[in-house]
Amino acid sequence: MCYDFALVENEMKGDSPKTVRRSIALPSDLMEEVRSVAPPELRDNFNRLVTIALYDFAKRRKRANLEKAMAEMAQDPAMKKESAEISEEFLQSETDGL
């Protein structure tokens, strides 16, 4: 899990600490695997572990969506044209400070 424990703790405290309770069923082998790789401070607090895992999941999905959008923009002919025009405009001032 790629998480910053302090950052997630702050997000969990947020301005709106509304809690939603959900009941889920998980395979026992998954539970054992998760406990075996969880940081010591989370092994015995499944609720916190799941919360942190879901924050991490959301963060990675947002990043993946942004990367996909950026890749699509990089292929857009209008964006390529605009980028080339901006580069051309800045080319003249590139050595101003030298």
How far apart are the two ends of the chain, measured CA to CA in Å?
46
pTM of the model: 0.63
Residue 7 — very low, low, confident or very high, per pLDDT cuts 50/70/90?
Answer: low
The C-alpha atoms of residue 22 and residue 97 are separated, in whole angstroms, by: 59
The structural domains of the chain, with segments of one domain joined by +, span 5-11+29-91
Q: What percent of the chain has pLDDT over 70?
A: 81
Per-residue pLDDT tens over the stretch 72-92: 999 999 999 999 999 888 887
Residue 12 pLDDT > 90: no
Q: Structure tokens of 26?
A: 């998980």
CB-based contacts of 58: which residues, under 8 Å, 6+ apart?
none
Query: Which residue type, as a one-letter code, is found at position 18?
Result: K
Residue 19 — very low, low, confident or very high, per pLDDT cuts 50/70/90?
Answer: confident
The C-alpha atoms of residue 10 and residue 7 are separated, in whole angstroms, by: 5
